[in-house]
Amino acid sequence: MKKYYEVIEKILQLLETIEEGFGYIKEQLEKLHYEEGLVVLKDAMEAIGSIESALHPIKAKLPENNLDVLTLTIKRNMDNAINSYEQGKEVYLVEQIEKETLPSFLTWKEELERALKPYVFS
């Protein structure tokens, strides 16, 4: 796993950036700046996809985890939020982000950190 040290470190840093992005998204949606929030939501979705791709070579070496299910959940919740916006249902966005998307991201992030941090600190 030493050869993946840098990748793991970058993933952990990106998780923090995505979490900051969710703070920005929430702030923009509360100000009714839906477009600005959605741009960052799409960026966060892309970042999660990048993490998913970066994990492929090391997935089998990680301790048992629920990353596959949690990744599907966060991606589905993000898709639902984007679909609400595209269907003109912006009023549901703040609630979707607060009650579905952000909690599923935090659960995914926690599981990912649990699986990866031992390799950074070892």
Q: What is the CATH number of the domain that holds 13?
A: 1.20.120.330
90: containing domain: 2-121
Cα Rg, the chain, nearest whole Å: 15
Amino acid at 109: K
Predicted pLDDT at 3: 84
- pLDDT < 70 regions, the chain: 122
State the pLDDT at residue 66.
Answer: 94
pLDDT for 47:
97
Question: What is the predicted pLDDT for the residue at 54?
Answer: 95
Contact at 8 Å (CB) between 24 and 64? no
Residues 6+ apart with CB under 8 A from 55: 11, 62, 67
Q: What are 85's two structure tokens?
A: 């916006």
Structural domains counted in the chain: 1
Candidates 85, 64, 66; CA nearest to 74 is 66
What is the predicted pLDDT for the residue at 90?
Answer: 86
Please report how many Cα atoms fall inside a 13 Å half-sphere around the Cα of residue 23, on the Cβ side: 6
Contact (CB, 8 A) for 41 and 82: yes
